[in-house]
Structure 1
Amino acid sequence: MTELEHFQRLKQLVLLKYQEHYPFFQGSWKTFSAQDIQNLIGLIEEINRQTISEKWIYTHLKPEVNQKIPRKDMLNILTEFVGLSGWDEFVFEASSENEAISKTKKKLSKTWLLILLPVIAIAVWYFGFYSSAKPKTNTIELNNEFTNEKIKSDEVKVVQVEDTVERNLEVKDGKVNVKTSGDKETKLVIKSPFYRPRTITLNAANNGSVVPPPKITLTPDDYAMMLKAFMISDIKDWQTRKEQLNKILADDLEVIVMLKNNLGSEYYDKNEFSQKLIVPTATVKRMKIIEVKNDADDRIQFIRIKQE
């Protein structure tokens, strides 16, 4: 504190000392009346055996703001009036008090810091680790690469692989919900009789959490798509259809048809199966392809069908 700041504090203590003798006074130096000045002069003469002039009080005590500090001998009179030995003790006491307050504040700050550090550490751990480790569910849409249309739910299978654990995911309305946790790497294995198989590896993002893409596109298997179309469409040109089937089906084709009600299976070779598709019946239209495999030339070599 500056000397002027010390003087302002001394003025307030003088007012408090005056109020001890004249408790009815509840004002400030601004409202300090002529009678109050006379009363104060009398008190100082009685307590300090010192004299202070009315003019001096008007000059140094009445102003709200002082431009300079009074003489030290006058400051000694006032500090003795409030119970100290003199101005030097007053300044020393005030400085010591301020230093003590400062030390107390620093000590409190350190104490609060020691208290808050574990809290901050826990918060950082929670939001940085636990929140990222907390399972999150993300919805992924499966689309045809060329048409951008959603893939039919019954024409695709999605398996999530995490820590060697496999889990089949439900595909609904061309979308699949993927639950990820923490920074674990997870894979999505996508299979379909009508689309090229695809494996998506989901890595941890910068914040430690795994964020799947909002959309995954699958590349159609042209021959498998043609085969599906042949099975559900009405015949228009059986000769053209026969030529097309001969092109997309491998010579060593094997077809397994799984019969309803667990009645077993039927086997067809290329010629037998082609004959069924050239003039498709209602039974053929109710067949559902569930697996297709191609040979090295990309021709269809194996078909598994479920009879519905």
Structure 2
Amino acid sequence: MNEKEAHQFSSLKKEVAAKMSRDFNMSSADISEWKGEDIVIFQEALLHQVKGQISTKWFYTHMKSSSKSLPRIDVLNMLSQFVEYDNWADFLHRNSNKKKSKRNKITSLFIFLLVPVLIWSIPNFISSKDTFYTISIIDFDTNEPPENPIEFELLKPDESSQKITTDSLGQLVLPVNEALNTLVIQSPYYKKDTLQRKIMNEGGEIFKVKTDDYALMVHYFSKSKVKDWKRRRRMLAKIFHNEAEIIEVYKGTYGIEKYTKQEFINKITMPLTSLKTLEVIDTQRQGGKIIKMRVAQQ
């Protein structure tokens, strides 16, 4: 981030702080002095007013201190919208005009007619390139972004599918377009779900995902010490179909090993030193129970 960008972002932070001080009883008008409760109030205000989210870690990195890099354009757009600009480009343009108006006076009809044209054309030209729609992924149970990135398959008519992953804030950022966007969750630890949207305008929304408790149980059982073997075996017997087939994939090779329901239960309930934490790759269900599962040792 160069000196000019640092000054521009600093100006945006001052406007954010001023708005929060007007709307809420903040402990300080200086954003660098905000702490726990102030940050939570700010996060709630963002979510309520522009349906945006930032993590506490991100706040400390970019808002409370001086980061080496400028935040992503979608976050800059979100913060700009929070202080009632159209987007980051609009913020830059309008603040640039404020500085120019202090230095210059309009002295001719030509300038008087030209400036409105520029005010209309430049931000529209820039914003057309940088218009995004942000989908914030939230865990249904915790009401927080998932701790680890979640992969989605993005499907569009007449296009090849794409694999996209949530960022550090638990968000998916999609460009505005008129196509039907279909997002299919691919995480083994969350239940299959699909979101379809025609993204006509920039903005955002929250999409809540539900954990796959069975997959999480297998992962947890494989890495934890067992105190009650019989209870654990009973629990596993309930979640697997009697005809279940479990395939263990060996990373870095083409080898696999197949297990029946009982063989797999024996594998993860025996105190074997060779057993490492199992990562669930995917699952299929039948009658509410796991009929197929692929796993790999970490």
TM range (shorter): 0.5 to 0.7
d(CA) in 2 for partners of 1:281, 1:242 = 15
- Whether the 8 Å CA contact 1:134–1:181 is kept in 2: the answer is no
Q: Distance in 2 between matches of 1:221 and 1:125?
A: 49
Higher helix share: 1
CA distance in structure 1 between the partners assigned to 2:296 and 2:223 by the alignment = 14
Please tell me whether Structure 1 or Structure 2 has the larger radius of gyration of its CA atoms.
Answer: 1
Q: Is the 8 A contact 1:142 1:175 kept in 2?
A: yes
- Opposite residue 165 of structure 2, the aligned amino acid is E
> Match for residue 193 of structure 1?
188
**In the superposition, relative to structure 1, how do residues 216 and 284 fare at CA in structure 2: closer, same or farther (>3 Å)?**
farther
Q: Is the 8 A contact 1:160 1:167 kept in 2?
A: yes
Cα offsets for 1:171-210 (capped at 9, x unmatched) = 3436234231333332222122121112112234xxx424
* Separation of aligned partners in 2, 1:132 and 1:203: 19
Q: Distance in 2 between matches of 1:135 and 1:197?
A: 31
User: Counterpart of 2:294?
Assistant: 304
User: Could you tell me which amino acid in structure 2 is paired with residue 196 of structure 1?
Assistant: K
Counterpart of 1:160? 154
1:273 match = 264
1:218 to 192, 195, 209: 209
Q: Deviations over 1:230-251 (max 9, x none)?
A: 1222101001111111111111
SS at match of 1:274: helix
SS of aligned partner of 2:145 = coil
Q: 1:252 aligns with which of 243, 246, 252?
A: 243
Is the partner of 1:196 in helix, strand or coil? coil
**Residue type matched to 2:176 in 1?**
S
Structure 2: gaps (5+ residues): 1-108
The TM-score with structure 2 as length reference comes to 0.53
Give the distance between the partners of 2:153 and 2:131, measured in 1 at CA. Answer: 17
Q: 1:301 is paired with a residue of what secondary structure?
A: strand
- Does residue 146 in structure 1 map to residue 137 in structure 2? no
Aligned residues: 187
In structure 1, the residue corresponding to 2:203 is in which secondary structure?
coil
Contact 2:131 2:176 in 1 (8 A): yes
The question of whether the paired residues in 2 share the 8 Å contact of 1:293 and 1:300 is answered with: yes
1:165 maps to amino acid: S
Question: Alignment partner for residue 209 of structure 1, among 189, 201, 210?
Answer: 201
**Aligned Cα root-mean-square deviation (Å):** 3.2
What CA deviation, in whole Å up to 9, does each residue of 1:261-287 have, x standing for no partner? 214111111111010122253543332
Give yes or no for contact 2:135–2:172 (8 Å, CA) kept in 1. Answer: yes
Matches of 2:128 and 2:181, distance apart in 1: 13
Normalised TM-score (structure 1): 0.52
2-structure distance, mates of 1:221, 1:278: 20
Contact 1:257 1:305 (8 Å CA) reproduced: yes
Shifted more, 259-268 versus 237-246: the winner is 259-268
> What is the match of residue 288 of structure 1?
279
| AA at the equivalent of 1:294 | R
Offset at residue 303 of structure 1 (A): 0.9
Evaluate the alpha carbon distance shift between residue 161 and residue 288 of structure 1 in structure 2; reply closer, same or farther with a 3 A threshold.
Answer: same
Q: Secondary structure in 2 aligned to 1:260?
A: coil
Q: Within 2, Cα distance between the matches of 1:165 and 1:145?
A: 30
| Distance of 1:126 and 1:212 partners within structure 2 | 24
Question: What secondary structure is seen at the aligned counterpart in 2 of 1:195?
Answer: coil
Cα distance in 2 for residues equivalent to 1:159 and 1:148: 23
Identical residues among aligned pairs (%): 25
CA contact (8 A) 2:133 2:202 kept: no
Runs of 4+ in 1 over 4 A off after TM superposition: 122-128, 130-133
- Contact 1:291–1:305 under 8 Å retained in 2: yes
